[in-house]
Amino acid sequence: MLVLSRKSGESIRLGNDIVLTVKRTRGNRVQLAIEAPREVPLRRAELGSKPQTDSPRENRSGNRLQDYLRRSA
């Protein structure tokens, strides 16, 4: 696991197409902005790792973000 420190307004780039930007910090809360292609699924970890969809096509890939990053590297 890579741990980085960022201040408000600073960004981290994941692969070629994903940018994570710290928008604001307030107390123990951090507001993040994520720029990513539409095909990359984004979900809060507390909602679970399985996609919540009825489409079998959507459920095929276990971790599409990791697959996407691996392909774009």
Q: For 9-58, what is each residue's pLDDT tens digit?
A: 999 999 999 999 999 999 999 999 999 999 998 888 888 766 555 444 44
What are the sequence ranges of the domains in the chain?
A: 1-38
Counts of helices then strands in the chain (DSSP H, E): 2, 3
Residue 61 has pLDDT above 60, yes or no: no
Which residues face 29 on adjacent strands?
26
φ and ψ of 62, to 5 deg = -70, -45
Q: What is the pTM of this model?
A: 0.61
